[in-house]
Homo-oligomer: A and B are copies of this chain.
Amino acid sequence: MNVIIMAGGAGTRFWPLSRLHRPKQFLTIYGSHPMIEETYLRIAPLAGEGEIYIIVNEDHRELTEEIFQGKRIRIVTEPLGRNTAPCIGLGLIHIMEEHGDGPVVVLPADHHIGDVAAFQETIRRAVSLVKKGGIATLGIVPTGPETGYGYIKGGKPLAGAGEALRADSFVEKPSLERATRFLSEEGYYWNAGIFVFQAQAMMAEIKRCLPELYEGLIDVQKSLGTEDYQERLRAVYEKLTPLSIDHGVMEKTGADVFVIPGHFPWSDVGNWRSLFELRSHERDTEGNMIDGDAVVIDCKNTMVHSRSGRLTGCIGLEDIFIIDTPDALLICHHGCAQDVRRCVELIKERGLDDLL
């Protein structure tokens, strides 16, 4: 089996820690390695003779080489970010050129998984399930009425395939009301963005659902191993519309789509609030989490993440994130964690490129 690790994200919701030159997946946000390396370490034992393809923006090739020094990986660079459908397609033409058809596991580089053994077991089942065709997704059993995740609605069970179900539909991020209903009804799972399929099967679906992307990929494939490759790749990417595999393929495909329930702690670590919740066991009795040098007086649920070497005094705060770096400081209410992206947009508008 081969693996595609998608590491092309911008990670703007983790500003000011996450920057253009080192986005979230290259940071050690949780655990002891950069997220991309945690993802690699989690899947590497399963890859066997297969290869792990890491798809990164070309700006991050060196950073990736540095992190994976001495490890057997393949780095494939994208000239531009075009979301997950082109990213997976690009990974696939490399895999098929070098390994032909076979099972492929697609993983986002910047998620957290709490129980590696359970994760690996679920992946094994998925690989086995798709041998005869179809696309398997991992569906995380919800632990709360989460409005920040997409959902997969599971349908009929598959005979002789454990807990695996047919996937009835993909559901966009729901309202709190809907998310609460999903939690009480059975059969709704968080879409973890993990897909497993045979390479040829996915290429066939891309051809059917996204013919323009398919043509572009074939164009690129023809230039593989030639001097024209990078130029061709850029020309194709520049013309592509950004599109997720969910919208582009999963919601339209005529192929069998399966969902395999994953019984392991999972988080997309999507923003500072997700991280705060993920690390809740590290909070003190007042709910504060201090990572750096701080004096804290009468605060509740306040997180200090300081990388500036400066002392932070916090007095009378509640539900506040403080992220301190040498050249930029963020102070954000918990309820506004998604708006960090807006902050980054404003910084871009102001032309403060050094801070992006």
Q: Spell out A's residues near B (CB within 8 Å).
A: 15-16, 295, 297-298, 308, 310-318, 320, 322, 324, 326-333, 335-336, 339-340, 342-343, 346-347, 350, 352, 355
Contacts and interface: CB of A to CB of B under 8 A. Distances in A.
A311 B267 CA distance: 30
Given A310-B326, A315-B342, A317-B320, 7 more contacts: A16-B313, A311-B347, A311-B355, A316-B339, A317-B332, A318-B333, A331-B331
Given A295-B343, A295-B347, A310 B335 contact: no
Given A329-B329, A330-B315, A339 B297 contact: yes
Contacts of A320: 317, 320, 331
B315 A346 contact: no
Specify how many copies of this chain sit in the oligomer. Answer: 2
22 contacts: A15-B313, A295-B350, A297-B336, A297-B346, A298-B336, A308-B329, A310-B327, A311-B329, A311-B347, A312-B330, A313-B330, A313-B332, A313-B347, A315-B336, A315-B339, A315-B342, A316-B333, A316-B336, A317-B332, A320-B320, A320-B331, A322-B331
A322 B321 CA distance: 13
A308 B333 CA distance: 22
Most buried by B among A295, A308, A350, A355: A295
Contacts of A308: 329
A312 B336 contact: no
A321 to B, nearest CB: 9
B310 A342 contact: no
